[in-house]
């Protein structure tokens, strides 16, 4: 009887998928020949060039013409949209995102679209999990290959475009299983390489690693270099959550530079930061090091989010995984983040911990802060070995002046590292915050330069063609917004508050946001590297 119920449920689900896809395809076919013109706009074309007054013509999925000047076209056979003197820019490309988590349940991707994001990069931090995963760090052996990803989301319409990377940690788990706390053998590396090759042949844009997480933390540099060489053969990119973002930071930077050198592949430091009190103010030193690498011919880049607090598993505070070492816990609280600044945004086992700091939980449990951190971290690590990460914390570890200088580096782009549920304000507010707060002499300079770091530069560094720019022949991904009113509202107290100031968003020529209201259209695509 139970088997019959299960089969019936599956058939119904499959039927709903086919029906929804049919409706989406029908709508797409109806829109293919539709042409429209947006006039009375100030165009920021995504290249960093000076903005200009003009209008653009769109037919189907692409821009057919870009006109300079006001009201110069006389096309009477198209729908005319009055841009009301607002700014028009390419849709923002989030170069490191977790907005794909739960998108099958929330395909409109409201947190992303309301801040102008039209394309996300997923499969980052070395993880690529199947739909239904509720955390962006997963320690099980579920690997969602590029081919599976394409097949699934070609049946599940979503609002935004998605680019995927081949994910080292997920692949390592698939090959090594629970026996991952060691260096891989030659045979195991070969097996991983085969899976990466399949991903690249299926359209992945490169290889991602999360070397601060299990199981990647146990991999050797040589293992990573050998795997990065596979991605390089397909002109892919290497994106990495580096092996340490605090105590062994400089060694980790040396490692990613060496990976770029040895594998002959462009490399990217994901969510670039100077974390830990001992690293604050060392921006000139780190940027000098990266510029020297670039002079050597190593194409190293970075992406940055505009917040002083990071978000991840509490276990990442322990690079040696020595959770019972109270001296280690004491060092963490004194040099990385005090207990008052480590706050849970998610906890599957103890939901009562959410929004509470380690300091507050210590008082409740009548324990010292050092003992509390040790206990919480040890419990999390033990339970996560058989399941996904059971918790996520938000912890202050950076200073704003460093964030601004790292983001100002000519080779840095903007990323959110955010999720649809917005446990951290970056999920709902990153791009709006940069527009609102990071212009001018103390930030990134002109608005056109800010937009370039969110669009054209991002597309170039990832390798995405015909997006990130407003020009003839490019895909019609763009946003209409008011630079004066664009603002993030998400805070650490209320992180899920949506941004404002984005009037309209078009993705592949279809309007998904109209006067700040989602249209429930789902024109997003899986972008395949070619």
Cis peptide before 259 (omega within 30 of 0): no
- pLDDT band with cut points at 50, 70 and 90 for residue 18: very low
pLDDT in tens, 197-240: 999 999 999 999 999 999 999 999 999 999 999 999 999 999 99
Locus of tokens 């921006």: 283
Number of H helices, E strands in the chain: 15, 21
- Region 28-43 average pLDDT: 77
Per-residue pLDDT, averaged over 103-111, amounts to 96
**Average pLDDT rounded to a whole number, residues 110-129:** 96
User: Are 245 and 275 within 8 A, CB to CB?
Assistant: yes
Q: Answer with the residue of higher pLDDT: 133 or 303.
A: 303
pLDDT bracket for residue 389 (50, 70, 90): confident
Q: Please, which pLDDT band fits residue 17 given cuts at 50, 70 and 90?
A: very low
Q: Is the per-residue pLDDT at 21 higher than 90?
A: no
Strands (E), 147-220: 161-164, 166-167, 206-210
The fraction of the chain above a pLDDT of 90, given in percent, is 83
The Cα–Cα gap between 335 and 70 comes to 57
**What SS3 state is found at 517?**
strand
Residue by residue, DSSP assigns 253-272 as HHHHHHHHHHHT--EEETT-
Sole residue written with tokens 């097949």: 151
pLDDT above 60 (res 127)? yes
| The two three-digit tokens of residue 310, written as one number | 């990071």
CA distances from 515 to 107, 311, 428, 510 (A): 19, 32, 18, 14
Predicted confidence at residue 99, as pLDDT, reads: 96
| pLDDT higher at 129 or 21 | 129
* pLDDT band for position 440 (cuts 50, 70, 90): confident
Q: Which domains does the chain have, with CATH numbers?
A: 92-308+397-484+495-513 (3.20.20.140), 311-396 (no CATH)
Least confident of 1-15, 31-45, 110-124, 347-361: 1-15
pLDDT at 138 over 70: no
Residues 151, 264: Cα–Cα separation, whole Å:
31
The CA–CA distances, whole Å, from 61 to 76, 78, 522 equal 20, 15, 13
Please report the pLDDT score of residue 212 as a whole number: 95
Banded model confidence at residue 371, pLDDT cuts 50, 70, 90: very high
Phi, psi of 524 (to 5 degrees): -60, 155
For residue 486, the Cα-to-chain-centroid distance in whole angstroms is 21
Query: What is the rounded average pLDDT of the residues 475-484?
Result: 97
Using alpha carbons only, what angle is made at residue 179 by residues 176 and 181, rounded to the nearest 5 degrees?
105
Please name the residue ranges forming H helices in 385-482. 400-408, 426-437, 447-452, 456-462
Stretch 62-68: mean pLDDT = 95
Q: How confident is the model at residue 117 (pLDDT cuts 50, 70, 90)?
A: very high
Provide the pLDDT confidence category of residue 27 given band limits of 50, 70 and 90: very low
Evaluate if residue 475 carries a pLDDT over 90: yes
In b/e form, how buried is each residue of 250-263, taking b as 16+ CB within 10 angstroms?
eebbbbbbbbbbbb
pLDDT of residue 78: 85
Over range 357-362, report the average pLDDT. Answer: 97
Per-residue confidence at 411, pLDDT binned at 50, 70, 90? very high
pLDDT at 443: 85
User: What pLDDT band is residue 294 in, cutting at 50, 70 and 90?
Assistant: very high
Residue 141 burial (C-beta neighbours within 10 Å; 0-12, 13-18, 19+): middle
Average of per-residue pLDDT across 325-352: 95
Which pLDDT score is estimated for 131? Answer: 76
pLDDT given at position 407: 97
Exposure on the CB side of residue 331, measured as CA atoms within 13 A: 13
| Mean pLDDT over the full length of the chain | 91
Residue 5 pLDDT > 80, yes or no? no
pLDDT tier at 530 (50, 70, 90 boundaries)?
confident
The answer on pLDDT for 313 being more than 80 is yes
Q: Work out the pLDDT band at 396, boundaries 50, 70, 90.
A: very high
């Amino acid at each position: 009887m139970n088997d019959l119920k299960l089969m019936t449920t599956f058939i119904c689900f499959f039927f709903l998928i086919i029906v929804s896809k049919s409706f989406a395809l029908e709508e797409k076919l109806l829109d293919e020949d539709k042409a429209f013109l947006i006039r009375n706009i100030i165009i920021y074309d995504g290249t960093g060039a000076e903005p200009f007054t003009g209008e653009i013509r769109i037919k189907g999925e692409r821009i057919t013409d870009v006109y300079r000047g006001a009201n110069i076209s006389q096309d009477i056979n198209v729908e005319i949209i009055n841009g009301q003197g607002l700014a028009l820019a390419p849709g923002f490309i989030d170069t490191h995102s977790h907005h794909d988590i739960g998108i099958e349940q929330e395909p409109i991707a409201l947190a992303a679209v309301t801040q102008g994001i039209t394309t996300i990069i997923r499969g980052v931090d070395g993880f690529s999990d199947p739909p239904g995963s509720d955390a962006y760090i997963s320690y099980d052996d579920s690997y969602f290959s590029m081919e599976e990803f394409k097949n699934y989301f070609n049946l599940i319409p979503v609002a935004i475009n998605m680019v995927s990377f081949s994910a080292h940690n997920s692949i390592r788990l698939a090959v090594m299983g629970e026996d991952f706390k060691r260096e891989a053998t030659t045979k195991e590396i070969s097996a991983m390489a085969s899976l990466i090759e399949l991903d690249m042949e299926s359209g992945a844009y490169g290889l991602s690693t999360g070397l601060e997480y299990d199981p990647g933390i146990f991999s050797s540099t040589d293992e990573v270099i050998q795997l990065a060489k596979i991605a390089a053969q397909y002109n892919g990119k290497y994106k990495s959550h580096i092996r340490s973002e605090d105590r062994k930071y400089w060694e980790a930077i040396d490692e990613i530079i060496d990976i770029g050198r040895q594998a002959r592949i462009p490399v990217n430091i994901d969510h670039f930061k100077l974390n830990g009190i001992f690293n604050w103010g060392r921006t000139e030193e780190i940027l000098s090091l990266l510029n020297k690498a670039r002079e050597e011919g190593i194409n190293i880049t970075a992406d940055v989010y505009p917040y002083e607090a990071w978000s991840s598993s509490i276990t990442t505070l322990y690079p040696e995984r020595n959770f019972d070492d109270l001296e280690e816990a004491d060092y963490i609280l004194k040099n990385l983040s005090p207990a008052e600044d480590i706050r849970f945004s998610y906890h599957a086992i103890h939901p009562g911990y959410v929004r509470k700091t380690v300091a507050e939980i210590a008082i409740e449990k009548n324990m010292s802060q050092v003992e509390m951190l040790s206990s919480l971290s040890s419990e999390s690590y033990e339970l996560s070995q058989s399941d996904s990460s059971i918790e996520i914390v938000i912890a202050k570890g950076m200073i704003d002046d460093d964030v601004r200088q790292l983001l100002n580096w000519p080779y840095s782009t903007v990323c959110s590292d955010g999720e649809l549920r917005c446990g951290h304000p970056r999920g709902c507010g990153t791009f709006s915050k940069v527009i609102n707060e990071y212009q001018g002499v103390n930030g990134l300079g002109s608005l056109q330069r800010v937009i370039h770091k969110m669009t054209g530069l991002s597309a170039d560094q990832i390798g995405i063609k015909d997006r990130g720019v407003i020009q003839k022949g490019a895909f019609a991904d763009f946003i209409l917004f008011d630079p004066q009113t664009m603002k993030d509202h998400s805070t650490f107290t209320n992180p899920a508050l949506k941004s404002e100031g984005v009037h309209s968003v078009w993705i592949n020529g279809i309007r998904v946001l109209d006067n700040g209201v989602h249209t429930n259209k789902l024109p997003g695509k899986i972008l395949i590297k070619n």
